[in-house]
Chain A
Amino acid sequence: AQTVTQSQPEMSVQEAETVTLSCTYDTSESDYYLFWYKQPPSRQMILVIRQEAYKQQNATENRFSVNFQKAAKSFSLKISDSQLGDAAMYFCAYKWASGSRLTFGEGTQLTVNP
């Protein structure tokens, strides 16, 4: 069974600085997707970034980028120039390419200090 582990229940960062959230996963599959979702206090789950396992290039979306290490089964999220609006719970998630289910990590609560 696939598992996703986020080892940092809470993180904090100063506004305008950079923070990295960690995620590791376990799977025996070779074709899969990895996601970072953001859930602010409003509780809407928002997709931040997506990575296809077959792509070697790390995904980036504006201030958000990932460090995807397939052999190490690691998928960290880097947030640059942190903003107050980045404060949220961040979930790392895995999906087998041929499956329907998302497997979520336990989440990392990010606080951004002004």
Chain B
Amino acid sequence: DTEVTQTPKHLVMGMTNKKSLKCEQHMGHRAMYWYKQKAKKPPELMFVYSYEKLSINESVPSRFSPECPNSSLLNLHLHALQPEDSALYLCASRLMSGTSGVDEQFFGPGTRLTVL
């Protein structure tokens, strides 16, 4: 299994709703990432988990709450979002193999979020 899966593919929510995005990988990667991407722009890093611990938070507003229950699963809990939070949310996991020098991120297909 060499893929990162994300659910749901599309999500529409109101500003008072609570929802969650889910990301899963079964490649044994120990680092997982959340990115936000606006149309025609590069992905912006939000959070990094390394060995199930939050290692990077790019000063993301608290209405986004990440969670890493285990090494295969990454969630992003959403609450009281604003219309400007509408974007594509990408999850990635990172392969790092010291012996071969391989170091790359594998991206999921994303969740397209619309906040009304």
Contact = CB atoms under 8 A, between A and B. Distances in A.
Contacts of A105: 42
Nearest to A32: B103
Nearest first, the 6 closest Cβ-Cβ pairs linking A and B are A104-B42, A45-B107, A44-B109, A100-B48, A43-B110, A52-B101
A109 interface: yes
Chain A interface: which size bin? 20 to 34
12 contacts: A42-B109, A43-B88, A43-B110, A89-B40, A95-B103, A97-B103, A101-B56, A102-B43, A102-B45, A105-B42, A106-B42, A109-B40
Nearest to B90: A45
Nearest to A52: B101
B41 A106 contact: yes
A111 B80 CA distance: 39
Interface residues of B, number: 26
A106 B43 CA distance: 9
Contacts of A46: 107
Nearest to A54: B101
A33 interface: yes
B84 to A, nearest CB: 19
A4 to B, nearest CB: 9
A29 to B, nearest CB: 14
B31 interface: yes
B56 A50 contact: no
Contact of A107 (B40, B55, B90): B40
Nearest to B110: A43
A91 interface: yes
A109 B48 CA distance: 28
